[in-house]
Structure 1
């Protein structure tokens, strides 16, 4: 996990993923807004992470279906823009796993009630020498939007995956629309609130 998250520049990782999706029309609409991948089993997964001082760009390929997001640090939280939606997560370590829990959400720059997103979370952990992950998203009325889990092979002997040239990054706006980026390369993992 440290190898994957602390590597600078651009690196690519390969693995496998299982994805479950809800066929509810409202869930499908929400999945479209956040560019979620379709349901699939034991699908090949490729993840390219481009890390720069101001943030990261994650490009995922779920069995030929691309999903891209940008991540940066803001006010002690890890922010991620996924499709039309921006999330701010508090990070904590629970039973050996790094857990992401939603603190704030906005869509097209408009704030949404965080309580709607209590069913959105992610876990990262190591198992049998692999980087493993689980991501779930459920909303009131819509139910479960997506639940996926899988693994990536990370070469810890070289410090990262297959190295690629560093790519330029731009700053991402924070949840209130002001320009802000990850400046120091570290994410807070205490899960605390910054009081806003």
Structure 2
């Protein structure tokens, strides 16, 4: 989806996204969750991970010609999503929620910006509600793939943030 900009990615980010890359990556992360009752409901609907420090994390990839299925494990909790290109955007189905993301490359990493959200894949929600949903993929000084995913909603506040690192494994 990044076209020629794929070559501008840091080596660990390119390796994770390469179609011939390792099907499993391992590392650890920190997960924080919002405390608002609606934040807990949103986290349940999207099947987001529970809070924890130093959480053992694995991501397994199933790659097909036009889509990828990511199974992320945060300790014992699994979070599965399906991603595919859709009209120049990346579409991700995560639990009951479907996101459309615009992707860009910055400083060797991938920035995900939320452009649209639907519940059950049918009911569109106002994109402005999701201005606080971001993802940054990058690499650290140790040569590890790193991620920082944040979701915050108006009137609710933080829903989830998970950040950490992965290595092929």
Does TM, scored on the shorter chain, surpass 0.5? yes
DSSP-derived class of the 1:120 partner = strand
For residue 30 of structure 1, report the CA deviation from its aligned partner: 0.7
The reply to whether residue 150 of structure 1 matches residue 164 of structure 2 is yes
- Tell me what 1:136 maps to: 150
Size of the aligned set, in residue pairs, is 155
DSSP-derived class of the 1:98 partner = strand
- Tell me what 2:5 maps to: none
For residue 54 of structure 1, report the CA deviation from its aligned partner: 1.7
- Tell me what 2:135 maps to: 122
For residue 6 of structure 1, report the CA deviation from its aligned partner: 1.3
**Do the aligned residues in 2 keep the contact of 1:34 with 1:82 (CA within 8 Å)?**
yes
Distance 2:33 2:88 in 1: 31
- Tell me what 1:39 maps to: 51
**Do the aligned residues in 2 keep the contact of 1:137 with 1:144 (CA within 8 Å)?**
yes
The reply to whether residue 54 of structure 1 matches residue 66 of structure 2 is yes
Distance 2:108 2:60 in 1: 25
For residue 117 of structure 1, report the CA deviation from its aligned partner: 0.1
The runs of 5 or more residues in structure 2 that have no matched partner are 1-12
TM alignment of 1:49-88, pairs within 5 A:
49-88=61-100
The runs of 5 or more residues in structure 1 that have no matched partner are 155-160, 162-196
TM-score by length of 1: 0.76
Which one has a bigger Cα radius of gyration? 1
Distance 1:2 1:95 in 2: 13
- Deviations, residues 134-167 of structure 1 (Å, cap 9, x unaligned): 000001111100011000003xxxxxx5xxxxxx
Measured on the aligned residues, the alpha-carbon RMSD in Å equals: 1.3
**Do the aligned residues in 2 keep the contact of 1:9 with 1:51 (CA within 8 Å)?**
no
Distance 1:43 1:143 in 2: 23
TM-score by length of 2: 0.88
For residue 9 of structure 1, report the CA deviation from its aligned partner: 8.0
DSSP-derived class of the 1:116 partner = helix
Runs of 4+ that moved beyond 6 A: none
- Tell me what 1:30 maps to: 42
**Do the aligned residues in 1 keep the contact of 2:68 with 2:84 (CA within 8 Å)?**
yes
For residue 10 of structure 1, report the CA deviation from its aligned partner: 7.0
For residue 77 of structure 1, report the CA deviation from its aligned partner: 0.5
Distance 1:9 1:151 in 2: 17
